[in-house]
Amino acid sequence: MSEHQETSIAKFKSKEAIIGIVGLGYVGLPLMLRYNAIGFRVLGIDIDESKVIKLNSGQSYIEHIPASKITLARESGFSATTDFSRVSECDALILCVPTPLNKYREPDMSFVINTTDALKPYLRVGQVVSLESTTYPGTTEEELLPRVQEGGLTVGKNIFLVYSPEREDPGNPNFETRTIPKVIGGHTPACLEVGIALYEQAIDQVVQVSSTKAAEMTKLLENIHRAVNIGLVNEMKIVADRMGIDIFEVVDAAATKPFGFTAYYPGPGLGGHCIPIDPFYLTWKAREYGLHTRFIELSGEVNKAMPEYVLTKLMDGLNNSGKALNGSKVLVLGIAYKKNVDDMRESPSVEIMELIEAKGGIVGYSDPHVPVFPKMREHHFELSSETLSADNIASFDAVVLATDHDKFDYELIKQHARLIVDSRGKYRAPAEHIIKA
Interacting residues of 209 by C-beta distance below 8 A, sequence separation 6+:
183, 184, 185, 215, 218
SS3 state at 42: strand
SS3 state at 372: strand
Residue 20, amino acid:
G
Interacting residues of 227 by C-beta distance below 8 A, sequence separation 6+:
270, 275, 276, 278, 279, 296, 299, 300, 303
The whole-angstrom distance between residue 61's C-alpha and the CA centroid of its chain comes to 16
Q: Count CB atoms within 10 A of the CB of residue 370.
A: 24
SS3 state at 185: strand
Q: Count CB atoms within 10 A of the CB of residue 120.
A: 16
Q: What is the rounded CA–CA span in Å between residue 79 and residue 43? A: 5
Across the strands, what pairs with 101? 107
Across the strands, what pairs with 18? 41
Q: What is the rounded CA–CA span in Å between residue 335 and residue 342? A: 8
DSSP 373: P
- For the chain, first and last CA: distance in Å? 60
Q: How many CA atoms lie within 13 A of 259 on its CB side?
A: 0
Residues found in the chain: 437
Q: Provide the annotated active-site residues.
A: 274
Please answer whether residues 346 and 270 qualify as being in contact, where contact means their C-beta atoms are separated by less than 8 angstroms. yes
Buried b (16+ CB within 10 A) or exposed e, 222-231: bbbebbbebb
Q: What is the rounded CA–CA span in Å between residue 74 and residue 214? A: 36
